[in-house]
């Protein structure tokens, strides 16, 4: 019985390999190496949802911050991207502490603030304007190498329709119609 199950599993695996089916992360890393895309990463794991009342940009004591697990997750993601030879033209981030720390721990290059990537979770009326500003910024980027943009779930969902997990990367490209087309996802480690 056990041999029969193992045989069936190996047969299915062989069929998938023969059909050219690759694990999602490997396929998406090759997409990043081609350029012409942007990597939209939700910040690494930070306990809770939203932010405490009285958030002050630049004062991490007023915000939700990365856990030790989140810090390890960001470092591992950066290590995997560097090991795969993916180079980024720029690393942009929201001004929230958890996104800045994620971007810094990725260690993919100098980190620059992009206010359009700031969370609008507590101010949904800003969603349309910030989404438009982010799309315009992406369209203006030279994407011969991909750009890494570290932001929040609400921003990525507004840009792509995808609800990413903490530390997940949504790979997208400008589609010419003032929108971004999703071309892949890279799961968190």
1 within a domain of the structure (yes/no): no
114 within a domain of the structure (yes/no): yes
Based on the structure, what is the number of domains in the chain? 1
16 within a domain of the structure (yes/no): no
CB neighbour list of residue 95: distance below 8 Å, 6 or more residues apart: 57, 58, 113, 115, 117, 118
Evaluate if residue 184 carries a pLDDT over 50. Answer: yes
CB neighbour list of residue 32: distance below 8 Å, 6 or more residues apart: 39, 81, 84, 86, 146, 171, 186
Map tokens 């998938």 to a residue: 16
Q: What is the pLDDT of residue 75?
A: 99
Q: Say how many C-beta atoms besides its own lie within 10 A of residue 137's C-beta.
A: 16
Q: What mean pLDDT comes out for the span 65-71? A: 98
Cβ atoms 51, 94 nearer than 8 A: no
Query: Can you give the CATH number for the domain in which 96 is found?
Result: 3.40.50.1240
Confidence of residue 11 (pLDDT cuts 50, 70, 90): very low
Q: Look up the domain containing 120 and give its range.
A: 23-186
130-146: pLDDT as tens digits: 999 999 999 999 889 99
Map tokens 């992360």 to a residue: 25
Q: What are phi and psi of 168, to 5 degrees?
A: -80, 150
14 within a domain of the structure (yes/no): no
């Amino acid at each position: 019985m056990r041999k029969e199950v193992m045989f069936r599993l190996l047969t299915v695996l062989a069929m998938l390999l023969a059909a050219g089916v690759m694990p999602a992360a490997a396929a998406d890393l090759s997409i990043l190496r081609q350029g012409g895309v942007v990597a939209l990463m939700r910040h690494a794991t930070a306990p809770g949802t939203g932010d405490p009342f009285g958030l002050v940009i630049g004062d991490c004591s007023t915000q939700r911050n990365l856990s030790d697990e989140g810090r390890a997750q960001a470092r591992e993601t950066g290590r995997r991207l560097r090991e795969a030879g993916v180079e980024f033209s720029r690393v942009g981030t929201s001004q929230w502490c958890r996104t800045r720390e994620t971007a810094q721990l990725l260690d993919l290059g100098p980190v620059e603030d992009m206010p359009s990537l700031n969370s609008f979770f507590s101010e949904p009326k800003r969603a349309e304007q910030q989404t438009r500003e982010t799309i315009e910024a992406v369209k203006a980027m030279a994407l011969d190498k991909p750009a890494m943009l570290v932001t929040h779930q609400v921003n990525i969902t507004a840009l792509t329709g995808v609800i990413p997990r903490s530390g997940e990367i949504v790979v997208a490209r400008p589609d010419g119609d003032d929108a971004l087309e999703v071309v892949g996802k890279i799961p968190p480690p």
